[in-house]
Amino acid sequence: MSTPPSLTASNGVQALDAIRREKPELVLLDVMMPEMSGLELCNTVKNILGVKDIYILILTAKGQGFDKHIWESIGADAYLAKPFNSDELLEKAVNVLGVEM
């Protein structure tokens, strides 16, 4: 089994640059990121740039107050509330990428 390459970014602007350059299949975004929030970044990718073939998973510490309508309206495919179960995150990634574990 080959592991897909991974990219990291320390802020939303770097993440946007990496997404534009690398066109990943799956992006994990924290709502609270410096320079550009995960919500702004997701909206930019999905709605402003019109990139529909990237699966975006929002990670948030605001699970209880995080309205499903918000992440759906900006084009996010799913979200996980922190603290989340790492097995659940891995399962979502495996399913999205179509890899076997």
Rounded to two decimals, what is the model's pTM? 0.83
Q: Round the average pLDDT of the chain to a whole number and report it.
A: 86
Mean pLDDT of the region 41-69: 85
9-44 per-position pLDDT tens digit:
999 999 999 999 999 999 999 988 999 999 999 999
Mean pLDDT of the region 45-60: 92
Residue 94: which pLDDT band, with cuts at 50, 70 and 90? confident
**Radius of gyration of the chain from Cα atoms?**
13
> Is 12-96 a domain of CATH 3.40.50.2300?
yes
Please state the domain extents for the chain.
12-96
What are the residues whose beta carbons fall under 8 Å from the beta carbon of 32, sequence distance 6 or more? 38, 60, 61
